[in-house]
Each structure stands twice: as structure tokens, then as C-alpha cells.
Structure 1
Amino acid sequence: MVKITAADVNTLRKTTGAGMMDCKNALVEAEGDFDKAIEILRKKGQKVAAKRADRDSSEGAAIAKVNNSNTEGVIISLNCETDFVAKNDSFVSLANELADLALQYNDKDSLLAANFNGISVQEKLIEQTGVIGEKIEIGGFRRLSAPFVGSYIHAGNKIATLVGLSAVVDGAADAAKDVAMQAAAMNPVALDQTGVDQETIDKEIEIAKDQLRQEGKPEAMLDKIAQGKLQRFFKDNTLVNQDFIKDSKLSVAQYVESVDAKLKITAFERVALG
């Protein structure tokens, strides 16, 4: 019988993240063959993943990353089943590693197929499903390009945002972060009114008309008043038109223009968990 040392077990644990007993049992079953032991642990992950495929994975960590030149940003969420796992340091560390890797890819499928320390990201997630005992998957994936990109991650990694600005100017980093915080806190539906889809507009107009009818307003006045309420909806729910949370006397667009008169917000992305 092959002798399994504590050093062997510890090496396998560091490689896979699996528990000490799982690593020892895998090495015993593999008769000391390190690669075979890794394969055994991965097969265990596949079995656990199959059993938990229909579980809800609404917890996790949303992570935003920006490249060194601040021209590209990405958000991913690494999803799991419970808040207990989401707060685990090793889980958050994995989410950050995957987000760093995601900067090189344009979509989730490409990321899942990417190499992660000798295996694909998808295989790593299955492996970690076996280690943790919960469904682990990439949920959100958003990418943003702009002359200047800033990011923000809300405490607890539940919300992450990216904001693109039209130029690199003095104060761009602070402005981008402030606007990214705004997007995290206020959850705008679009950058401006042109980005609001027609279905949402029609729905808001109909809601406004129903409210006005209940208030007894004449039918002939409904369209005009409803249009006024729609403009209020745009102000409250589109990023550039919202009141700036740090100074409600300014809209977000006006705040950005106060940093530089020609500066504009070009886009934003937001991923939230829970």
C-alpha cells in the first residue's frame, strides 16, 4: 500500500482547494498518483454539480476590474447558493482571479473556455462545486470600453459597476468613481432617455394614465399630463438626468461637466446579486 504523507495531502489541497480529508481519500484511491487524485476530485465535482444543477445561485461576489490604461473594464459575478460561501475569503479570491482573467475576453462563453492553471474555467467551477458542495457558476458578465473607464464595488461584493467617460482629463478617476457609485446606489434603467426601450415607455404612460383616471382627471388631458410624468420618470431613472447623490443641486451630467466642460458619460454597466 502506498504511503500518503501529510505533505502530499497539503500539496493537493493547495492545488485544488479541496478539504484535507477529501484530498487524503483521493490520494489513497489514486494510490499516490497526484494527477489521478486531481481527476478523482474533479469527478466528484461533476457529480455534485449534476445533483445541484437546479439549485438557485443568487448569492456570490460581483467584481469589477479595469485594465492598466483605464480603457477597458469588465464585471463578472461568481455565483453560489449561500451568503456563507459568498463571504469566504477563498471564494472572493477566486472571483477576483476570474475577473482579472475576464479582462482578456469579450463574453462569458469565451471566459468559461479560457485556461485557468491548466484547466478550463468551466472545469475549475465544477471542481470548486465539489470542494464547496454548492452550485458555483459565472452569472453576470459585462464589458465596457471608453477613453476612460472607472469602477466601483459596493461593500460586500453585492453590486459592481463600470462607467465610461468621453475623455482623459484631470479628475477623471474621481468623477468616474463617483458616477459608478451613483449607478450602484440608484440603479438607473438607462444612460439617458434614448436608451429606455419602448415597452418601458408605453408601460409608464399607461400607469400614469390609470393613476390620473383614478384621480378623476378628464380623458382629454391624460396624454399631456402622462407625458409630463414620463419626463419625471426619465429624470429619476436615467443616469445622466438623476440628481447627483453627493450634491442634489446638480444632475449627474452637470456634475461631470463641472469636472470638465466637455466631459460626458458614454456608458455604464451594473451587475447586482441577491
Structure 2
Amino acid sequence: MLARHSACAAQRPQQRLARGSSVVRGVVQQRRVQPTTSPARSSVVSFASRSVVLAAAEAQKISAKDVKALRDATGAGMMDAKKALQECNGSIEEAKDWLKKKGMASADKKQGRVAAEGGIFSYVHLGSKLGVLCEVNCETDFVARGEKFQEVANDIAMQIAASPSVEVVSLEDVSEEMLDRERKIEMEKEDLQGKPDEIKAKIVDGRIGKIAKTLALLEQPFIKDTNMSVSDYVKSATAEIGEKIAVARFTKFELGATIVKEEKKSFAEEIAEVTGKA
């Protein structure tokens, strides 16, 4: 009897331990299974998060073409150009300003240097009826003799020949006399006749701003790539060569432009002159 009682007493702690282990396991299992949020809510949160991530990734997509265009215009490094476009949501114009503020537009930095070397370059159009002489400067004689600089200078000379309206290098060179001349021409155009002077003046002022750009070489679309201006091309070359490049001045020559020709008489007028019946 005593032995049986001792055996039962020995089994009780083990049973309690076993029951305790079962309870502990049950709690652990319950904690593992019990969700913190409902399945439906979890799916919604997951979908929303994925949408936000995808939208952000889409917004940050920057094309290689835009990066190249920005680098050509500013001379900035590839990673700097890409970061600028990302910061400005892909806007090239805003990215240019961003790079300038950060001091990363190397082409603009080089514009402050002195360019006293270079050369005089010429272009004569087929038929020898139109020719151009232009002075293009760089910083060193070594660069002036280089193939790339020579190519840029010849491109600029050809650009001048292909731009009949161009009279000056930059917008800053457009004089008040030029603007007054163009303003007078615009004021006398038929489509403005009969309009009140105040309205006519506003219309003319708007036109003059556009006309001024046609007079400046650096504002023209570059003949070899019309997606960029001549100014952008010069900045791109500055970044590639590593020295400031500047167009100093140019002169155009057109055959017979300074000769005043007599107006040719008609056949009837010649007959009348001979017979004395004018």
C-alpha cells in the first residue's frame, strides 16, 4: 500500500509537468496562429504599399537620352546629371538650374575663364557666292591645334552661313538700334493697322522678343542636331574638350550684296526709248 502511494506521488509531478508542457505548447501555437490583422486588411495594405513603390519607381525612371541631353548642356557628370533629373522629376530645364545651384555645371564654370587662343575659320558655300569668316577662341594653343576644336570651329562657320537672319553672336549683342529697326518694320505691317496704339505696342513687343532670338547665333537650332541650340553645342564641346570655347565675332560675305544694280528695263520700255516715244 505504501509502495503504491509512493508510486502515485512520484507520477503526479510528471503529470503536472506534462500538462504544463502541453499548456505552454498550446499557448505558443495559439500565438503563432493568431493574426495581428485580418487577412483582408493585410491584402489591402500590401497592395497599397506595392502601388506606392511602383509609382515611386515609375517617377524615378530617367531615360538615357535625357541624361545625355543634360550632360551636353551643362558638362555635368553622368551620375550628377541623373540625380538632378530625379530631383526635378525629369525636367531638363529645372535640372540645369539644380546643377548650377549645386555647382556641378562644369561648362558654366569654364565660361568664366579667359579664352585668348583659337583661330580665324572660314566657310565658303558651293558656288562661291556666300562666305563666312569667324573667330573662335579657346584657352590654350594646344587645344586650338586639336582636331576636336577645329571641328567645332568649322561647324560654327557653317552654321553662320546657314543662318541668313543672324547678325550677332548672342542676345546680349543685339543693339537697341537693331530692335528699333525691327520694331518699325512690325508697326507698319498690315495685320496691325487699325488696332489701338496700346494693343499694337504690346503685340509688337511680343514679336520683338522672338525676332531678337533670330538675330543671335547662339540661339539658333544647331544644323547637325536641331534638338539642341548652338549655345548647347558650344557648352557640350567645352565639357568634352575641358576648356572654354567662345565665338568672338564673325563676318558674312554675299556676292553682289554691296553692288547697286540698275533695274532692268522691260522690252516695251527699250523700244519706246529707241523710237523716242517714251
Fold in common (TM above 0.5):
no
Instruction: Identify the structure with the greater strand proportion.
Output: 1
Give the shorter-chain TM-score range. Answer: 0.3 to 0.5
TM-score, L = length of structure 2: 0.41
- Structure 1 or 2, whichever has the larger Rg, is 2
TM-score, L = length of structure 1: 0.42
